[in-house]
Amino acid sequence: MTLVDRVVFPGSFDPLTNGHVDIILRGLKVFDQAEVTVGVLCNPDKKYLFTGDERVALIKEVFSEYGQRVRVKSFSGLLADFLRQEDVKVIVRGLRAISDFEYENQIALMNRYLSEVETCFLVASEENSFISSSLVKQVAGLHGDVARFVPPIVAQALERKFR
Ligand code: ADP
Distance CA 17, CA 136 (A): 8
Distance CA 104, CA 109 (A): 9
Long-range own/partner contacts, residues 56-65 (CB < 8 A, 24 or more apart): 58/13, 58/15, 58/16, 58/151, 58/153, 58/154, 58/157, 59/13, 59/16, 61/153, 62/16, 62/21, 62/151, 62/153, 62/154, 63/24, 63/38
What digits encode the pLDDT tens for the residues 34-78? 999 999 999 999 999 999 999 999 999 999 999 999 999 999 999
User: Of 20, 71, 93, 137, which one is the catalytic site residue?
Assistant: 20
Which residue has a Cα nearest atom 16 of ligand 1? 94
Mean pLDDT of the region 83-95: 96
Q: Output the pLDDT for position 1.
A: 66
Distance 45 CA to ligand 1 centre (A): 19
Q: DSSP state, 150?
A: S
Catalytic-residue membership of 125: no
What digits encode the pLDDT tens for the residues 92-135? 999 998 888 999 999 999 999 998 899 999 999 999 999 999 99
Q: Output the pLDDT for position 123.
A: 95
The pTM for the full model equals 0.96
Provide the H-helix boundaries in the chain: 18-30, 52-62, 79-86, 98-115, 133-141, 152-162
Cβ(27) to ligand 1 under 6 A? no
